[in-house]
Amino acid sequence: MNVAYVFSSSGQTVDYILGDMILPQLERGDHGVNVAGMFFFHDNTYALRTGDPLGERLATVADEQEILLMLCDQCASKRGLAEEVGESESGRTLYEPHQTVDGVTVGCFPDLYAALAEVGVDQVITL
Q: What is the pLDDT of residues 85-110, one digit of tens each?
A: 999 898 999 999 999 999 999 999 99
Residue 35: per-residue pLDDT: 98
Contacts of the segment 45-50: beta carbons below 8 A, 24+ positions apart:
45/71, 45/72, 45/75, 45/76, 45/79, 45/81, 46/79, 46/81, 47/14, 47/15, 47/18, 47/19, 48/81, 48/100, 48/101, 48/104, 49/81, 49/99, 49/100, 49/101, 50/99, 50/100, 50/101
Which residues in the chain land under pLDDT 70? none
pLDDT of residue 91: 92
What is the predicted pLDDT for the residue at 118? 87
pLDDT at 53: 97
